[in-house]
């Protein structure tokens, strides 16, 4: 994997969150197309802290959302 296999997002507005998530997912999709071995995992750590990363545990061509905020871990496939 390359150096840009994870992006940290700490938005200050809802619009900023949406724009930053969209950009990070798009960039990682471009990278994933080269390997065809990783999907994208979007993790919410807190209400203002997210990571978007290539993941070997997520099938290529899909993305999953993991919510770890408030002590709960729920996984949603997109």
For residue 14, the 8-state DSSP code is: H
Angle at 56 between CA 54 and CA 76, to 5 degrees: 75
The whole-number pLDDT of residue 73 equals: 65
Helices (H), ranges, 1-78: 14-35
The domain limits of the chain are 6-69
Band (pLDDT 50/70/90 cuts) for residue 61 is very high
- Interval 2-17: pLDDT, tens: 445 899 999 999 999 9
Average pLDDT over residues 34-53: 93
Per the CB < 8 A criterion, the answer to whether 50 and 43 are in contact is yes
Question: Which tokens go with 21?
Answer: 């998530």
């Amino acid at each position: 994997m390359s150096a840009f296999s994870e992006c940290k997002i700490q938005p200050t507005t809802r619009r900023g969150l949406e724009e930053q998530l969209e950009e990070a997912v798009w960039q990682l999709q471009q990278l994933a197309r080269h390997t065809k071995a990783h999907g994208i995992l979007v993790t919410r750590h807190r209400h203002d802290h997210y990571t978007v990363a290539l993941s070997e545990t997520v099938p290529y061509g899909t993305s999953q959302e993991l919510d770890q905020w408030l002590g709960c871990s729920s996984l949603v496939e997109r």
